Amino acid sequence: MNNSNKSGRNRLIHKYSFTLFFFFMLIILIPSIIVSAVNNPNRSSNNLLIQQQSLLNKQSVTSSSSSLTLGWITGNGETMTQIADYQNLKIVSPALASIDNDDALHVTAEPNTIDSLHKQGKKVWVRLIMKTDTKTSIHKLLTNSTATQAVINKVCEAASKGHWDGVNVDIENVDVRDRNQFSQFIEQMSNRLKQSNTVLSIDLPPDPKAGNQKSPFDHAVLGKYCNYVVFMGYDQHWSTDPTPGPITSLPWLKSTLQEFIQTGIPSKEIILGLPAYTRIWEQDKQGYIVKDPAYSVDYVANLVTQNHRNLSWNSALGEYYITYSANNMYYKIWLPTAISYHAYLNLISKLHLAGSAIWNLDFMNADYWNLIY
């Protein structure tokens, strides 16, 4: 073999060796780069969203496309004008019907608002609330048959004339002594709403006493007369809780849902309610909670990354946990991500539920909603 042939062969070997080395390094480095990017707390929220999307592309939510998707709204605010941006949002539930302290109903559902949502392909379940949601005010209403009948009449008339698709009853602080009266209130409203084919749903919290007379809610009766029951899968740790903790977590959500299903409500009628918020728990040196404000999950994710806080993934809970100290105070945050929400939503198919709901859209912008839905 002459020198020119040897030189050519050496160049060829060198070329292929370099190519093999290049691909070898890519195989080694790319996974490390991905892991570093996902776990790097110094990334901006937008980058975190992109990373979440990359991971979500490798996963799937097994709930059916026919599952209901509901978003609550506190009123006629800015969120209402942006509803078209929320993909796969099927039902909007704004608080447009309120019972005041004199047991009178006030309806603020403008026909144009309802028509606009209908044109966007959304169903509207107007939310019925108490202006003062306390056991005392609810007891006052339920023990006044004239007042309750007047409320029912006005709700049903407004639903029929305003072309509401449904009514979502969000009255939570019922006293156990008013258990039967509340069931009668729901039964009467159900019978009236059926005349106009209006859906009736009710929001119920997790209740360890459900299924017996010690619970303020008779689940078997409410399940019979409501088309859907929204399970409020949040406040595992609430605002007045002496112990900080997550708003919801995967094991708690699954176990409380399973208990809920055993109380007489068919699983196919249950909508899984999820929080769009978390809390920043602030404790003093003695461990007492000084304050625990609620913020949107997206806002907290931004806050954590901008302040270079370390994120620790808790695989048991299915979310991040952050703890740090500043100004002689201690802070704790449990932060779900889009990955967490996908794990929550997979409970729909596993437990044969009707769908899901988010409390509320004022806490979750369209970008984040679209990421998880």
Convert the pLDDT of each residue in 233-287 to its tens digit. 999 999 999 999 999 999 999 999 999 999 889 999 999 999 999 999 999 999 9
Mean pLDDT for 122-137 is 96
Q: Which CATH superfamily is domain 68-277+338-372 in?
A: Glycosidases (3.20.20.80)
Secondary structure of the chain in HEC code, one letter for each residue: CCHHHHHHHHHHHHHHHHHHHHHHHHHHHHHHHHHHHHHCCCCCHHHHHHHHHHHHCCCCCCCCCCCEEEEEECCCCHHHHHHHHCCCCCEEEECCEEECCCCCEEECCCHHHHHHHHHCCCEEEEEEEECCCCHHHHHHHHCCHHHHHHHHHHHHHHHHHCCCCEEEEECCCCCHHHHHHHHHHHHHHHHHHHHHCCEEEEEECCCCCCCCCCCCCCHHHHHHHCCEEEEECCCCCCCCCCCCCCCCCHHHHHHHHHHHHCCCCCHHHEEEEEECEEEEEEECCCCCEEECCEEEHHHHHHHHHHCCCCCEEECCCCEEEEEEEECCEEEEEEECCHHHHHHHHCHHHHCCCCEEEEECCCCCCHHHHHHHC
Supply the pTM of this predicted model.
0.84
Mean pLDDT for 358-373 is 94
| Ranges of each domain in the chain | 68-277+338-372
Convert the pLDDT of each residue in 182-207 to its tens digit. 999 999 999 999 999 999 999 999 98
Convert the pLDDT of each residue in 31-46 to its tens digit. 333 233 333 333 334 4
pLDDT value of residue 51: 56
pLDDT value of residue 65: 65
pLDDT averaged over the chain? 85
